[in-house]
Chain A
Amino acid sequence: MVRFVSGLTVTERQVALVVLLALSLIGLAMAAAGRGDPMGAQGFIVMIFSVGLGFAVMSGYYAPEPDESRLSRYYDDPTKVGIVLTMIWAVIGMAVGVWVAALLAWPDLTFDAAWASFGRLRPVHTSGVIFGFGGNALIATSFHVLQRTSRARLPDQFTPWFVLIGYNLFCIVAASGYLMGITQSKEYAEPEWYADIWLVIVWVAYFLLYLRTLARRKEPHIYVANWYYMAFILVVAVLHIVNNLAVPVSFAHAKSYSLFSGVQDAMTEWWYGHNAVAFFLTSGFLGMMYYYLPKRAGRPIFSYRLSIISFWGITFLYMWAGSHHLHYTALPQWVQTLGMTFSIMLLVPSWASAGNALATLNGAWHKVRDDATLRFMMVAAVFYGLSTFEGSFMAIRPVNSLSHYTDWTVGHVHAGALGWVAMITFGSIYALVPWMWKRQAMYSSRLVEVHFWLALAGTIVYVFAMWNSGIIQGLMWRTYNDGGTLAYSFIDSMVAMHPYYIARAFGGLLFLSGAVVGTYNVFMTIRAAHAEAAAGETGADVPIVAGSGAMQAGE
């Protein structure tokens, strides 16, 4: 902790303290105004968080100014912390996932406490893995990729910390809020208005940091990974702001009422929801793939042209696809038809990306065989191709009449989330950790191998269980007997789910075990690096520094 603070200039330390002081005052105001409302407890959390960090900054406040030589190196401290946070959130989010999966198989496996019920824990799982695990992974890797592909250092040392830590404050406020019953009920946009406003502030800082670093780049072209990271940052901002427009009951209430209602709200929500998949869980992670996969394979990207087609195809087409979540509902048919049509067209850019990734591995397949890290990325690309195909298929209206409202959707989401998002993340992290901590390799390549097989087995068990349960469910709901009446009651279909829910919890447990093994491996690598801290820098991984350090903005 002290080491990170002493890397900041004295001015940056002061800015950090001022921001933390302001934040703790906001927390205090929320706690005071929100007495008798869950808002009060959220205020205390903000206050404890910022005061705690204030102490951390103070502990290194009187360290001497950092050496000027830092300006000739990339600034990787926030990436390092981001990697650790990614692994922690992975374990938390996936553990809660296993917990809620178990609750569906054994509903009495709970306490008589509101916070422990399925409805409150489920968003902790979804937000924990999407925003906690996925978001931290994107932020951490984007800082790394942005600097390397621009051959420039981040413009200042405060903003990346503000983005990373501010984002984690958002995640903590969101997750603790769900347990207290604070939710907007909009799926994947559950956090209430004050958390949403805070995320906008953090996001603007993130976007500006990206632009400022690009402005300092020594490469004339912006590398393809950065296109994806930029699309992720920009479009998520647009989606987040529009979908979260709401009127709070008062400034002392956590509760708000969304600006839109009924059919317009449904369309806005699924425009958001589907594009959270597109721009958070796809675009950002494609950015990751486009950097770490060719790097690890030691091969250039197969086709620049395919990259262009898939990038603009995804950016344009995805935004039309959200209405496929609302087939046969009260949403006007013309919107449903547009959603279906564009969802099918989406297969082209999606497979262009997946194919581009796999073709990049030509000439490096022996590495895929020997290196579990690269294999993580290869399998991720395969699952990306499979789940985008499945997604286009499920968006076809008659198919959707069977799949919608069933576990098939859940299976599809997890084929993407476990098979694609988590796999590409773990692969990237296993590539990145040794670079960041200046090690030859991970603490144990054997454990990477163990993690790989646990993750793959867990994904397959999970997805097959949900395919089975979803299709059985959908068929039972629409089966008629010879007399022309419905053959099964709803309860019949639920009873039929029981074995699959057990299998699903088991698959999730395998995947979680893999994440625990991975976390241990990351921690042991870091520990070994600290033990050998005396080792010198290699000097190879440095930016091009034009002129003197005096040109650094914000210092």
Chain B
Amino acid sequence: MPEFFHRKIERNAIGFVVAIVAVASIGGLVEIAPLFTIHQTVEEAPDMRVYTPLELAGRNIYIREGCYACHSQMIRTLRDEVERYGPYSLAVESKYDHPMLWGSKRTGPDLARIGDKYSDAWHVRHLINPRDVVPESVMPKYGWLARNDLRIDDLGAHLVAQQDVGVPYTQEMVDNATRDAYGQATPDTDAASGVSERYGAATQVRAFDGDPARVTEMDALVAYLQILGRLTEAPYKQSAAAEAGE
């Protein structure tokens, strides 16, 4: 009987097309659509802040160089991962990540909590030649990051696009995007003060690449790496609460 039914639908191309699309759509609808509507999917974290323009530019360099192919940013809820890397990742931490960079492969270690773990100078040296600081490393050298000036003139347009996809940048942040990117990497200039006004007093303002005279791609990438895992305190509070409860 089912065979007879199938003999009928396989004679009708349009019917077959409709059947394929209908049958194939169900899984995605059931699994993806509720993630947008079920409130508990993403935790509340009122202290969560957006990336500064410099950090966003750094994130774009991280994407451009394909860092996500070897480094995850997602600590799983497994004992050994938490002990190795820190509190497991919460959904809220990547709420402003368009796209997310959870990754799928750890040729190198997870980076979700790399922020503040090493000094800027360590990162710069490591990126220029990883084997200077970790002799066994198989990471590529990224010498050009220190040589290339960072493009900051169009960061306002980047922030507008971020607004369009739902990241709560204010108009003031958009208007000052280029100035803030410059200021965050040049602590001794007038532009520096606006960064902490707009993005919070805890924002790191310093010459990340060690050279306050220039804003390089290295500045941006290190600024991004140093903020990873530090946009909200929620995961640390949650893990502290869990330990206190034991």
Contact status A234-B7, CB under 8 Å: no
Contacts A122-B66, A265-B99, A267-B31 given; indicate if A410 touches B105 (C-beta within 8 A): yes
CA A268 – CA B143 in complex, angstroms? Answer: 34
Chain A min CB distance to B144 (Å): 5
Chain A min CB distance to B140 (Å): 4
Q: Identify which of A234, A266, A308, A491 contacts B100 (C-beta below 8 A).
A: A266
Contact status B97-A222, CB under 8 Å: no
Contact status A261-B165, CB under 8 Å: yes
Contact status B17-A250, CB under 8 Å: no
Instruction: Report if B207 contacts A (CB, 8 A).
Output: no
Of the four ranges (under 10, 10 to 19, 20 to 34, 35 or more), the interface on chain A belongs to 35 or more
Chain A residue nearest in CB terms to B96: A261
Contact status A248-B137, CB under 8 Å: no
Residues of A within 8 A of B140 (CB): 103, 107, 110, 117-119
Instruction: Report if B16 contacts A (CB, 8 A).
Output: yes
Contact status A112-B143, CB under 8 Å: yes
Chain B 86-103 interface 0/1 with A at a Cβ cutoff of 8 Å (1 = within) = 001111111111111111
Contact status A247-B165, CB under 8 Å: yes
Among B28, B63, B101, chain A packs the most CB atoms within 10 A around the CB of: B28
CA A409 – CA B92 in complex, angstroms? Answer: 27
Contact status A234-B20, CB under 8 Å: yes
Residues of A within 8 A of B106 (CB): 405-406
- Chain B residues 134-156 with CB under 8 Å of chain A are 134, 136-144, 151, 154
Contacts A119-B65, A183-B66, A261-B165 given; indicate if A486 touches B80 (C-beta within 8 A): yes
Contacts A235-B24, A263-B91 given; indicate if A104 touches B136 (C-beta within 8 A): no
Contact status B2-A187, CB under 8 Å: no
Instruction: Report if B224 contacts A (CB, 8 A).
Output: no
Contact status B104-A261, CB under 8 Å: no
Contact status B154-A220, CB under 8 Å: no
- Chain A residues 315-333 with CB under 8 Å of chain B are 315-323, 325-332
Contact status A185-B63, CB under 8 Å: yes
CA A360 – CA B65 in complex, angstroms? Answer: 47
Chain A residue nearest in CB terms to B3: A305
Instruction: Report if A73 contacts B (CB, 8 A).
Output: no
Residues of B within 8 A of A338 (CB): 30-31
Q: Identify which of A220, A269, A339 contacts B11 (C-beta below 8 A).
A: A220
CA A263 – CA B70 in complex, angstroms? Answer: 20
Instruction: Report if A259 contacts B (CB, 8 A).
Output: yes
Among B7, B16, B25, B95, chain A packs the most CB atoms within 10 A around the CB of: B16
Instruction: Report if A384 contacts B (CB, 8 A).
Output: no
Residues of A within 8 A of B93 (CB): 262, 330
Instruction: Report if A231 contacts B (CB, 8 A).
Output: yes
Instruction: Report if A97 contacts B (CB, 8 A).
Output: no
Contact status A320-B31, CB under 8 Å: yes
CA A464 – CA B10 in complex, angstroms? Answer: 42
Instruction: Report if A435 contacts B (CB, 8 A).
Output: no
Chain B min CB distance to A455 (Å): 25
Chain B residue nearest in CB terms to A262: B94
Q: Identify which of B10, B63, B66 contacts A221 (C-beta below 8 A).
A: B10
Chain A min CB distance to B238 (Å): 12
Number of A-B contacts defined by CB within 8 Å: 262
Residues of A within 8 A of B158 (CB): 249, 255, 257
CA A230 – CA B105 in complex, angstroms? Answer: 32
Contact status B154-A117, CB under 8 Å: no
Stretch of B71-79, B114-122, B184-192, B193-201 that contacts chain A: B71-79
Contacts A119-B69, A261-B95 given; indicate if A491 touches B136 (C-beta within 8 A): yes
Contact status B99-A184, CB under 8 Å: yes
Contact status B30-A320, CB under 8 Å: yes
Among A230, A250, A266, A410, chain B packs the most CB atoms within 10 A around the CB of: A266
Contact status A264-B32, CB under 8 Å: yes
Chain A 240-261 interface 0/1 with B at a Cβ cutoff of 8 Å (1 = within) = 0010001111100101111111
The interface residues of chain A, by DSSP majority, are classed as helix
Contacts A110-B140, A261-B97, A261-B166 given; indicate if A248 touches B161 (C-beta within 8 A): yes
Contacts A103-B140, A181-B64, A308-B2 given; indicate if A266 touches B102 (C-beta within 8 A): yes
Q: Identify which of B16, B24, B101 contacts A185 (C-beta below 8 A).
A: B101
Chain B min CB distance to A344 (Å): 14
Q: Identify which of B20, B25, B72, B161 contacts A230 (C-beta below 8 A).
A: B20
Among B36, B138, B158, chain A packs the most CB atoms within 10 A around the CB of: B138
Instruction: Report if A386 contacts B (CB, 8 A).
Output: no
Chain A min CB distance to B59 (Å): 10
Contact status B161-A256, CB under 8 Å: yes
CA A326 – CA B151 in complex, angstroms? Answer: 35
Instruction: Report if A545 contacts B (CB, 8 A).
Output: no
Chain B 164-208 interface 0/1 with A at a Cβ cutoff of 8 Å (1 = within) = 111100000000000000000000000000000000000000000
Contact status B66-A120, CB under 8 Å: yes
Instruction: Report if A61 contacts B (CB, 8 A).
Output: no
Instruction: Report if B239 contacts A (CB, 8 A).
Output: no
CA A261 – CA B167 in complex, angstroms? Answer: 9
Contact status A262-B91, CB under 8 Å: yes
A-B contact pairs, 23 of them (CB 8 A): A36-B151, A107-B130, A107-B138, A184-B63, A222-B10, A261-B167, A262-B42, A262-B91, A262-B93, A262-B94, A263-B91, A264-B35, A265-B100, A317-B27, A329-B74, A330-B88, A330-B90, A330-B94, A332-B35, A338-B30, A477-B80, A478-B78, A486-B80
Nearest 9 pairs between A and B by C-beta? A119-B66, A319-B27, A328-B76, A320-B27, A262-B94, A181-B64, A330-B91, A258-B99, A405-B106
**Chain B residues engaging chain A, CB cutoff 8 angstroms:** 2-3, 6-7, 10-11, 13-14, 16-17, 20-21, 23-28, 30-32, 35-36, 38, 40-42, 60, 63-70, 72, 74, 76-78, 80-81, 83-84, 88-110, 130-131, 134, 136-144, 151, 154, 157-158, 161-162, 164-167
**Other than the known A227-B20, A264-B32, A490-B109, what 7 A-B pairs have Cβ atoms closer than 8 Å?**
A222-B13, A250-B157, A257-B158, A261-B96, A318-B27, A330-B74, A490-B108
